[in-house]
Amino acid sequence: MGKYFGTDGYRGEANVVLTADAAFRVGKFLGWYYSRNKKEGEETRIVMGKDTRRSSYMFEYALAAGITSTGADCYLMHVTTTPSVSYEARTEDFDCGVMISASHNPYYDNGIKIINGAGEKLSDDIIEKIEAYLDGKMGELPLATGTKIGRTVDFAAGRNRYMGYLIATETRSFRGRRIAIDCSNGSASSVAKSVFDALGADTHVINNTPNGTNINDRCGSTHIEALQHYVIAEGCEVGFAFDGDADRCLAVDENGCLVNGDQIMYVCGRFLNERGQLHKNTIVTTVMSNLGLYKALDRAGIRYEKTAVGDRYVYENMSANHFSLGGEQSGHIIFSRHATTGDGILTALKIMEACIEQGKSLKELAGDCVMYPQVLENVRVTDKEAAQKDEEVLAAVRAAEQALGDDGRILVRASGTEPLVRVMVEAVNEETCRKYVDSVVRVIQSRGFAEEERPML
């Protein structure tokens, strides 16, 4: 984890944590870094997209100015999805890609995600170099002059190519299928409806009118209740909700019940496995996936591997082992045959494919994967590493593990971006979950690690 870049880019409140000046300097570094070893006449090409936040326009211009100032050309896809930038980076011979988005965060936050030429998240060694430059440890970078100054290029066509690619992944028509989509007033607004319409769906759309400040505002994958009510009210057979940059997807069945990322992996994993397309009969999850998923996969005879939290770790495992499917409970789902990153719209298409091919509803397909109740509490601490390693805290965790046995689990981990220790318990009922979360949180508090007092229940 870097000083500025976390597991999903450089993110924070616009012009407070992440400033236009910082964006300019990131762009300046990228233009210099990818241009420095080019032969005479070779172009440096960087593709860039943004979500619908008001500050995304400011950061787009700042990054583009930085990129072009050191000799690279910046291809602007404008409002588009993170997966589309990844797709274009790996298929159109770009040196790297940049996506301006804070994903599911509120509108006043923003972020810079950097993607390499293979469509993957940028490696840690290059991130370290960017951070060294931001901290003034590299001195100033040379500016391009004359004909070597870069240019900006309108590249809206790249978004259209990506949409064509999504449509081409499907071999079945969606004609007659009444499908609801929640675009979260974000990036999916520029892509999703056109894709579903092209496949013949009777598409019903909500939260598809971004105004710069309504992205993720009581809508999308982090506020699924809006779609749940809409699916029932409109009599849709299924609904899909995306986050701000559309790299996540959660689903809703015909009764308005949530189908989360774990259940989506189960549905798609079984479908791929039955068709011999699930490599090594394995799905890659993170340690935060629900115990209900693992029990359902055991019954289905499907193997699984667990990684640290973060879709980049899921993809690294998948790439190293050539696995077909992986993801997170939050809805980052990766289909390695088609993409190198989580892709919310692609995920929705693959769910529909599983339903149509098997002649079953999403409710029927997800029914065997029952989620265990889960309680998660974030404890703000003075030292998250010391809190995790404290002997009394560890003893409380071991006691909870022993008491829960095979019918539950406890996970205590530090946040990668905030001074928090997350205490999560899954068990057969919420009362049991709360009991063992409380038992560990009390010890963290009594040992003096908690910043704020929590009422002792």
Percent of the chain with pLDDT over 70: 98
Q: How confident is the model at residue 419 (pLDDT cuts 50, 70, 90)?
A: confident
Residue 326 has a pLDDT of: 98
Residue of 174, 411, 369 whose CA lies nearest to 260: 369
**pLDDT category of residue 3 using cuts at 50, 70 and 90:** confident
**Sheet (strand 333-335) strand order:** 303-307, 282-286, 325-327, 333-335
Is this prediction's pTM over 0.85? Answer: yes
pLDDT at position 1 is: 57
Averaged confidence pLDDT in the chain: 95
Q: At residue 158, does pLDDT exceed 80?
A: yes
pLDDT, tens only, 314-327: 999 999 999 999 99
β-sheet with 5-6: strand ranges across? 5-6, 9-13, 109-116, 96-100, 45-50, 73-79, 152-154
Specify whether 194 is catalytic.
no
- pLDDT the model gives residue 30: 98
456 pLDDT higher than 50: no
Give me 67's structure tokens: 């990129």
* pLDDT confidence of residue 323: 98
Give just the sign of the alpha carbon dihedral 202, 166, 77, 153.
negative
Question: According to the model, what pLDDT value does residue 451 have?
Answer: 83
pLDDT tens digits for range 77-128? 999 999 999 999 999 999 999 999 999 999 999 999 999 999 999 999 999 9
For residue 247, say whether it is annotated as part of any ligand binding site: yes
Per-residue CA distances from 287 to 72, 183, 308, 414 (Å): 40, 28, 6, 13
Q: Is 3.40.50.740 the CATH number for 374-446?
A: no
Which of these is catalytic: 35, 55, 56, 103?
103
Measure the CA–CA gap between 182 and 210, rounded to whole angstroms. 12
Mean pLDDT of 293-317: 95
pLDDT at residue number 415: 82
Same fold, 5-158 and 169-366: yes
Q: In which band, very low, low, confident or very high, does the pLDDT at 457 lie, cut at 50, 70 and 90? A: very low
Could you report the per-residue pLDDT of 357-373, keeping only the tens digit for each? 999 999 999 999 999 99
- SS3 category, 156: helix
State how far the Cα of 156 lies from the Cα of 80, in Å rounded to an integer: 9
Whether the pLDDT of residue 269 is over 70: the answer is yes
Going by pLDDT thresholds of 50, 70 and 90, the confidence category of residue 417 is low
Q: Is residue 243 part of an annotated ligand binding site?
A: yes
For residue 7, the number of C-alpha atoms closer than 13 Å in the C-beta half-sphere is 13
pLDDT at 455 exceeding the cut of 80: no
pLDDT of residue 357: 96
Type and span of the H or E element at 424: strand 420-426
The percentage of the chain sitting over the pLDDT mark of 90, rounded to a whole number, equals 92
Closest by alpha carbon to 290, among 363, 362, 374?
Answer: 374
Structure tokens at 325: 């499917």
CATH superfamily, domain 5-158, is Alpha-D-Glucose-1,6-Bisphosphate, subunit A, domain 3 (3.40.120.10)
- Tell me the C-alpha distance between 412 and 440, whole Å: 9
Give burial (CB, 10 Å; 0-12/13-18/19+) of 57.
Answer: middle
Q: Give the burial class of 308: count Cβ atoms within 10 A of its Cβ; 0-12 exposed, 13-18 middle, 19 or more buried.
A: middle
Domain spans, the chain:
5-158, 169-366, 374-446
Integer Cα distance of 147 and 336 in angstroms = 40
Say whether domain 169-366 belongs to CATH 3.40.120.10: yes
